[in-house]
């Protein structure tokens, strides 16, 4: 069975600073990888996804992530964060051929002025 | 498109009462998912449907929980009888099977007193 680890429960950062949110997964088969964002009192919104092809994936709001198969990682990055990026970020994995998304525990990004 | 619609957005009820949560998926989507989110357990998949047929209900916590999808545009999640430990935010999501990306509704915040 696959699993997802987000080691950082909370990441504080100053506005305009770069940020990296870490995600590691485990799976014995090929996977698809996703990052979702959840703003307060809202549902989850897809930031970006890796299905195949280029390992560097660009998403909405200036976020990007890199799939590293050897390290089984899919870290999320943004070169310069805004106050509005304050939210909970979830990494998720999906075994190819299946539909059950497995989510990490989430990382709360706190951007301060 | 209006996105995934859930109702009610908030529900407060007393222990022992029946609770019904409703979901309207995005038109044309053929897969529907019910999730529960709590601080303690994070995001959990309860059940999902393909073409209105339940595929995997292994995440349903116990017999008090039941879900139906009578047609492609409507699904319900019922809890009977409800208990305080059922208090959580319940999300519905839909997707096109072939694309894998899940679109989430705004959620229903359930409080059982």
Report CB contact under 8 Å: A106, B42: yes
Q: Provide the pLDDT for residue A106.
A: 95
Q: Which residues of chain B have pLDDT under 50?
A: none
Supply the pLDDT for residue B1. Answer: 63
Contact criterion met (CB < 8 Å) for B101 and A45: no
Q: Which of residues 63-82 of A touch B (CB under 8 A)?
A: none
Q: What is the pLDDT of residue A95?
A: 78
pLDDT of the residue at B109:
96
SS (H, E, C) B62-113: CCCEEEEEEECCEEEEEECCCCHHHCEEEEEEEECCCCCCCEECCCEEEEEC
Q: Which of A6, A36, A37, A43 to mutate to test the interface with B (most CBs of B within 10 A)?
A: A43
Residue segments in chain A with a per-residue pLDDT below the cut of 70: 97
User: Rounded to 5 degrees, what are φ and ψ at B24?
Assistant: -115, 115
Percent helix, percent strand, percent coil in chain B, to nearest 5? 5, 55, 40
Q: Do B101 and A90 touch (CB under 8 A)?
A: no
Would you call A43 and B56 a contact, using CB atoms and an 8 Å cutoff? no
Q: Which tens digits make up the pLDDT trace of B33-58?
A: 999 999 888 899 999 999 999 998 98
The H or E element containing residue A37 is strand A31-38
Q: Do A100 and B48 touch (CB under 8 A)?
A: yes
Distance CA B8, CA B77 (A): 12
In this prediction, residue B34 carries a pLDDT of 97
For residue B9 the two structure tokens come to 């957005």
A15 CA to chain B: closest CA distance, Å? 27
Q: Rounded CA gap, B17 and B112, in Å?
A: 9
Chain A CA closest to residue B100: A99
Q: How far is A26 from chain B (nearest CA, A)?
A: 18
- Distances in Å between the Cα of B29 and the Cα atoms of A69, A93, B11, B15, B40 are 31, 21, 27, 35, 31
Instruction: Quote the pLDDT of residue B33.
Output: 95
> If interface means Cβ-Cβ distance under 8 Å, which residues of chain B face chain A?
4, 31, 33, 42-43, 45, 48, 50, 55-56, 91, 93, 95, 97, 100-107
Cα–Cα distance, B54 to B49 (Å, whole number): 4
CB-based contact (8 Å) between A35 and chain B?
A: no
Q: According to the model, what pLDDT value does residue B106 have?
A: 93
pLDDT at residue number A73: 95
The whole-angstrom separation of Cα B5 and Cα B74 is 10
Q: What residue in B sits closest to A44 (Cα-Cα)? A: B104
Residues A40-56 pLDDT 10s: 888 899 999 998 888 89
Would you state the pLDDT for residue A53? 86
**Which pLDDT score is estimated for B19?**
97
């Amino acid at each position: 069975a696959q699993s997802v680890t987000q080691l950082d429960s909370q990441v504080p950062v100053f506005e305009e600073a770069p940020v990296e949110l870490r995600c590691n997964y485990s799976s014995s088969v090929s996977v698809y990888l996703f990052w979702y964002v959840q703003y307060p009192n809202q549902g989850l919104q897809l930031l970006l996804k890796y299905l195949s092809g280029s390992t560097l994936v660009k998403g909405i709001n200036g976020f990007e992530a890199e799939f590293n198969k050897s390290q089984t990682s899919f870290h999320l990055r943004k070169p310069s964060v805004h106050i509005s990026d304050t939210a909970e970020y979830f990494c998720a994995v999906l075994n190819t051929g299946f539909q059950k998304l497995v989510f990490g525990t989430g990382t709360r990004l706190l951007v301060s002025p | 498109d209006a996105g995934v619609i859930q109702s009610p957005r908030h529900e407060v009820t007393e222990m022992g009462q029946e609770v019904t949560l409703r979901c309207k998926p995005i038109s044309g989507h053929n897969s529907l998912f019910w999730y529960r989110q709590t601080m303690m357990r994070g995001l959990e998949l309860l059940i999902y449907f393909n073409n209105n047929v339940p595929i995997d209900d292994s995440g349903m916590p116990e017999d008090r929980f039941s879900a139906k999808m009578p047609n492609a545009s409507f699904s319900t999640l019922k809890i009977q009888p409800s208990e305080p430990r059922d208090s959580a935010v319940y999300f519905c999501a839909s997707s096109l099977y072939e694309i894998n990306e899940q679109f989430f509704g705004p959620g229903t915040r359930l409080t059982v007193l």
